[in-house]
Structure 1
Amino acid sequence: MIIEKLKEIIDPTPEFSSTTTDIFFWVILSVFIAALILRLRGKKPAFTDYIPTLLSSLGILGTFAGIVIGLLAFDPTPEKMNDSITNLLWGLQTAFFTSITGVFLSITFKAFESFLLNQEQASENSDGLAQSDNSIEGILTVQNQHLAQIVKSIGDENTDSSLVNILKLHRSDAADQRKQVINALQTLNDA
């Protein structure tokens, strides 16, 4: 009953899946650009700190939307199976594209923010570093600071927006998606 109502509301066709993909792409990209502008202007720091998590979350939301579209379009009856598989794959295309877009822009924003933060720190510490800038020791000190920020962005277990945690979440989502596809194919095979 609920699935039939959803099929009435959501038109599970390749065109709908493509439109959904476009909508998620433009929303994620718009959030990314707005966050960059706000970060460069130094406004809304609480919002810009949350952006990597928001971008990843939007990507994951698009993943589940794509899975729902694909599964709603799936009809295991033998005469409709070929069209159903095509529509299922369109939904999965939406799922993976939105995930990749969200995670990629999240990582890009973190890298940009880390670079910008290091530039701000370097300008604040320019008095102390100006004397040693030309020396190998001064260069290595600055490089070590940059590497520490990169390592923190990649593997900080205490933040949800670290690359390691985002990849763990994405791997878990991919495993769930794979199980759903296997279950749908098993149902299809049984039919």
Structure 2
Amino acid sequence: MKNKAYYFLFVLYLLMFGFILYINGVFTGQITSRSNLVINISFLLLIGILMVISAISFGRLNKATDALLDAADDMEKNYSADQQNLWNRYKDKKDVFHHTVLDDQFSKYQRRIAAHTTPKGSVTSICPIEDYLNEDLLDRIGSAHYNGVVSATMSGLGILGTFLGLTLGMIHFSGNDIFTISDNIGPLLEGMKVAFHTSVYGIFFSLVFNFVYRSIMADAYEKLTDFLETFHECAEPPISTIDENTSAMLIYQANMSNSLKTMMELMKGQAAEQTKGLSTIVQQFVNQMNDIMGTDMEKLGKNLTAACEAQSTYARNFQRLEESTKLLLEASRAMNDTMNLALNRQDEVAEKLSETCDGLSNELYTFHRMRDLYEK
């Protein structure tokens, strides 16, 4: 109930207002000094106006922090049901908080994430939501620039009332001897009443308001921290660790390797079939020509045999080309392994950076808590 603590201010205010009216004789009908009563009521009304303005800003702050808690609860429920990152649900969602200021800030965050998202949906850059939903935003919603000086203003009103009361008492105070002084001591005492009364409730409300204000702001910061932790756990967009160009290059190299392998297999098969077929044809032709023309065709047979040997040499050359292609494929695989090793190292560096960021976040949180405790 820290966020409702400002209601306690109005209870104390009513009690103090009634006490001032009582000591000035309003309830008994024995008003000793109307000027004293008017001054006290005027100062109390000024303090009341300050408290009403602060209460309005506290109400706005409570609506914002309640919206943060409701959004965090929804994220936890959805994440518990699916056990999957929820960013795809929230990247285009409107009215996440059902709060104008918070929804406007979250829309800016969505646009920034969209600007760092590739056409394939990978987020390439870290975009912290703390740049949009932070303590400065809560200070602006809760009018911290105003509430931060209300306590000092109340103390200032108390001091002003002190000097005003003394001034009123001194106006009617005159005399040069003990007899005339004793006759004018009454107005001086009345002025001193004003001085003491305004000082008492001015300083009293200053202390109480400062305590309530700091409690409300500490509660708001705690709720903001709860939402940010839930968002990081359940809905923060995952950062892609592989560059799109690198991925495309790896795919291209794999396709090229497969194409070269297929081409070599085809070339190897065609060369073997051609050599075998040509040898068979040549042998049949020589046999037929020997039968027909006798020994005169031996020279032609030798020439055709030389042609077969040349074809064999051509096949061996294709085999060497195949071996060279295999070496190229092995070199390509080695390059792929090197790039995968580099990507793994990038993942390790990203994990270390993430652990460092988490450590810094915990230290900042501890620092804020220590600062709040110190200010209290």
TM-score by length of 1: 0.56
| Pairing 1:70–2:169 present | yes
Task: Determine if the alignment matches structure 1 residue 152 to structure 2 residue 375.
Answer: yes
CA deviation after TM superposition for structure 1 residue 18, in Å: 2.4
User: Does structure 2 retain, via aligned residues, the 8 Å contact 1:66–1:93?
Assistant: yes
Do the aligned residues in 2 keep the contact of 1:53 with 1:106 (CA within 8 Å)?
A: yes
Give how far 1:61 is off: 1.0
Q: Distance in 2 between matches of 1:54 and 1:25?
A: 13
Distance 1:20 1:127, change over 3 A: closer
My pick for the range that moved more, 42-51 or 58-67, is 42-51
- Taking the TM superposition and a 5 Å limit, the aligned residue runs for 1:74-153 are 74-76=173-175, 78=178, 80-126=180-226, 148-149=371-372, 151-153=374-376
Whole-Å separation in 2 of the counterparts to 1:105 and 1:150: 21
Is 1:27 matched up with 2:38?
A: no
Indicate which of 23, 36, 48 corresponds to 1:17: 36
In 1, distance between residues paired with 2:375 and 2:211?
Answer: 11
Cα distance change on mapping 1:152 and 1:43 into 2, 3 Å: closer
| Distance in 1 separating the partners of 2:48 and 2:160 | 15
For residues 225 and 159 of structure 2, what CA distance do their matches in structure 1 show? 39
Offset of residue 119 of structure 1: 1.0
- Which has more radius of gyration? 2
Structure 2: state its 5+ residue gaps. Answer: 1-31, 61-140, 231-364
Aligned residues: 130
Provide closer, same or farther for how the CA distance between residues 44 and 125 of structure 1 changes in structure 2, counting only shifts above 3 A: closer
Q: What's the % identity of the aligned pairs?
A: 22
For the 8 Å contact 2:147–2:213, the answer to whether it is kept is no
Flag structure 1 segments of 5+ consecutive residues without an equivalent. 1-12, 131-141, 154-191
Aligned partner of 1:149: which letter? D
Aligned to 1:172: none
Summarize deviations over 1:59-112 as a string: whole Å, max 9, x none. Answer: 111111111011112123555534421211111111111112111111111111
Higher relative CO (CA 8 A, sep ≥ 6), structure 1 or 2?
Answer: 1
Residue in structure 1 matched with residue 143 of structure 2 by the alignment: 44
Q: Against the structure 1 CA distance between its residues 115 and 32, is the aligned structure 2 distance closer, same or farther, given a 3 Å change threshold?
A: same
Equivalent pair of 1:14/1:87 in contact (CA under 8 Å): no
Tell me how far 1:125 sits from its aligned partner: 2.4
Using structure 2 for the length normalisation, give the TM-score.
Answer: 0.30
The 5 A counterparts of 1:152-171 are 152-153=375-376
